[in-house]
Amino acid sequence: MITFELTKTPPKSGYCPNHMILTATDLSPRETYSFLAGAVAPRPICFASTIDAEGKVNLSPYSFFNVVSGDPPMLAFSPLRSGRDGKTKDTLNNVLAVPEVVINIVDHAMVEQMSLTSTAYPPEVNEFEKAALTQVQSESVRPPRVGESPVSFECVVDRVIPLGDGPMAGNLVLARVVCIHVRDEFAPGGTFDPTLLDLVGRMGGNDYVRAIPESLFEIPKPVRSLGIGVDALPPHIRNSTVLSGNNLGRLGNAERLPTEAEIAKAAKLPAVAQARSQGRESLHTLAKDSLERGDVELALRILLG
């Protein structure tokens, strides 16, 4: 972890006096990086296998990585130049020489082996061997894939975009997926189930996060419906001292407000009648309990009664 002194500058707008304002030009690249890597997280990990012009294999992880297009299917990752001397990584040199890469997804079972491959070994060293990972021949590209990876994407490199030429500058690699490998246990019955993957994500410093079932939660997405929005709610709900921003977001995701008949029916429930007798805060607390149980319709009826 990098620590350094921060100077608090009053915001020009005056809107957020409790926020610290930092100008990137006043920070060193390493200090700026600590904010980028620490706050933009957790990040998925691109475990990239490449080869150089002579066929030597390299395997390295990159957490500046994500999916960026569905059609064409594209993944992107960015190998940074060395923070010490600005030298480019072997992965970048390889994809410029042989524009192909296999992006292997990292699960918890291999996270320590993945971390080991981030060591700055010389180009002639095969990280598969150093980390005791299985090198498997790919179907459509020359670099091998990682046999232990739950999912691997064989890709051809579409383009490489240099984002700077100094220390810690990124180089955006856009890779088009041409073949996907999924281990059988993650597609029971032929249906891919991502909840089985036990994925890990990169945080700041030396920290990682594990996407175990206990840490997963669902949020209904307004893909096929049009949420009413928080602005459609009365002021006493929007300005509630009980309801959180997440509570309001869930209410705003509702497709419609309840009818008067629905509100009247909810008002007859004993718990609602008791809460009403105790004041608005008690009603909001009861509605919050309903929201946290996933019953948005009842929460709206309670709040609007």
pLDDT tens-digit readout, 250-259: 999 998 999 9
Residue in the structure block whose two tokens are 């990876």? 149
Distance separating alpha carbons of residues 45 and 48, to the nearest angstrom:
9
Residues of the chain with CATH 2.30.110.10: 41-215
Of the chain, the percentage scoring pLDDT greater than 70 comes to 93
Give the architecture (CATH level 2) of 41-215. Roll (2.30)
pLDDT greater than 50 at residue 2: no
Whether the link from the prior residue into 42 is cis, omega within 30° of 0, is yes
Cα 56 to chain centroid distance, Å, stands at 32
For residue range 188-202, list pLDDT tens digits in order: 999 999 889 999 999
For residue range 230-250, list pLDDT tens digits in order: 999 999 999 999 999 999 999
Lookup: tokens for 33: 């990086």
pLDDT greater than 70 at residue 302: yes
Distance separating alpha carbons of residues 16 and 10, to the nearest angstrom:
9
Residue in the structure block whose two tokens are 């100094």? 166
Q: What is residue 83's predicted lDDT score, i.e. its pLDDT? A: 83
Q: How many CB atoms lie within 10 A of CB 19?
A: 10
Can you give the pTM of this predicted structure?
0.82
- What number is the average pLDDT over the span 14-29? 72
Q: What is residue 9's predicted lDDT score, i.e. its pLDDT? A: 55
- What number is the average pLDDT over the span 213-240? 85
